[in-house]
Amino acid sequence: LHTNLSQCRGRRGEDRHSKCAPPPSLPSCCRVRHFQRLEQGKQTETPPPRATKTIHMVGTAPLPSQNPLTLFSDGLWMALGLEPRNDNTTSASSGLIDLKDVYGYEEWKIDCLFVGLVLSFYAVGHLLLKTEKQRAYIITFLNCCVAMVVGCHAMHTLCWYDVSVNSFSLSETPITRLEVRFFRVVQILDVAVGLCFYPTQLHLLTTWIHHTAYTLLCSWMLQRGVSILFALCLLEELPTLILAIGSMHKPLRSDSLFGLSYFVLRVSLHTVLAYNAVTYNGGDDRIHVVRFNFALTWCLHVNWFYAWVRQQLRLRRERSIIVSKDKSWDKD
């Protein structure tokens, strides 16, 4: 302690702001305690952390990062028995894709599987629902659910929220080609089943013309290998899904939610896609059919939305008249 005290006194002479030097006003006993505390602090000082060595296991690779939406959409196809043999389900192909090379099943067998799936789903819904109007939306509900899954998969995983029309969106992947085949099966079965169980719900524009046109369009897309852009447009099936749920179970009907989703998707999003298709100058001869389809469906969507707005205004006027009459009767 005497040695440390002399050293600190020497340091205090050199540097008056030294940390080990006690204040000059402390008595000698306190000075001794001060240096004892300094010695204890040096002994209890925590040693520096030891360097750790990272051991890498040989033969292991990190798992690929997949988002929940991709896992859900891939799991849907696996549940249907269409598990891909390789990782080419998200890579686009400039030519036609043979689903047999990817899933191991011929395409007509996949269509038969879709027919059995749709008919089984309708049979269950037919037992649960009673009226023709409710039963008319069973197949539509299934189609919209599958369409929303594939549409979200195409928007998030394939296109990364890019809605421009380019050579990639004019190509196809195995999953989008599967959806086109499923969509075509649904259009045919909706008419066939409707003739047997809900013929009064089959209308000229919304059933016969609409389903025939989309059956031909799906056949053309399968022949020309254009399905990614169609998968993006499947997001527009959300208003139809809301309408189907409200028609099958009336307490869940929401006209405002239907109108909002219709304006955002079938009017706004469809307008952007149609504009991108019209301004596309990639020199692809398939773009002419795509432009014609977008122009026709855009006019149809705008016309339907205009009719819906007029209907809502008429219903609001009728409700206001009824409320005013009730108030007048209460006064009388």
Instruction: Report d(CA 126, CA 136) in Å as an integer.
Output: 9
Give me the pLDDT at residue 324, please.
Answer: 72
Instruction: Retrieve residue 187's tokens.
Output: 């259009």
- Tokens representing residue 67 in the block: 């988002």
Q: Under 8 Å CB-to-CB from 110, ≥6 apart: which residues?
A: 82, 99, 103, 178, 181
What's residue 74's pLDDT?
53
DSSP state string for 113-154: HHHHHHHHHHHHHHHH--SHHHHTTHHHHHHHHHHHHHHHHI
So what's the pLDDT on residue 88?
Answer: 45
State if pTM tops 0.75: no
Q: Which DSSP string corresponds to 79-97? A: HTT---SSSGGGS-BSS--
In the three-class reduction of DSSP (H, G, I as helix; E, B as strand; rest coil), residue 164 is classed as coil
pLDDT tens readout for residues 196-235: 999 999 999 999 999 999 999 999 999 999 999 999 999 9
**105 alpha-carbon distance from chain centroid:** 27
Query: pLDDT (tens digit, 9 = 90+) per residue, 276-323?
Result: 999 999 889 999 999 999 999 999 999 999 999 999 999 999 888 877
- Residue in the structure block whose two tokens are 């940390």: 19
Amino acid (1-letter code) at residue 137: Y
Residue 29: both structure tokens together: 């006993």
Q: Where are the beta strands (DSSP E) in the chain?
A: none
Please report the pLDDT score of residue 121 as a whole number. Answer: 98
* Selection from 226, 236, 237 nearest residue 280 by Cα: 226
Backbone dihedral region of 165: left (phi > 0), alpha (psi from -120 to 50 degrees) or beta? beta
Lookup: tokens for 300: 């149809």
Nearest to 177 by CA among 214, 155, 150: 150
| Burial bucket for residue 274 (CB in 10 Å: 0-12, 13-18, 19+) | buried
Helix (H) / strand (E) element for 329: namely helix 287-331
Select from 132, 140, 169 the least CA-distant residue to 239.
Answer: 140
φ, ψ for residue 172, nearest 5 deg: -150, 160
- DSSP 8-state code for residue 205: I
The per-residue pLDDT for range 242-265, each reduced to its tens digit, is 999 999 999 999 999 999 999 999
The mean pLDDT value of the chain amounts to 81
Binning pLDDT at 50, 70 and 90, where does residue 80 land? very low
Q: What is the pLDDT of residues 18-37, one digit of tens each?
A: 455 555 555 555 555 555 66
Backbone phi, psi, residue 220, to 5°: -65, -40
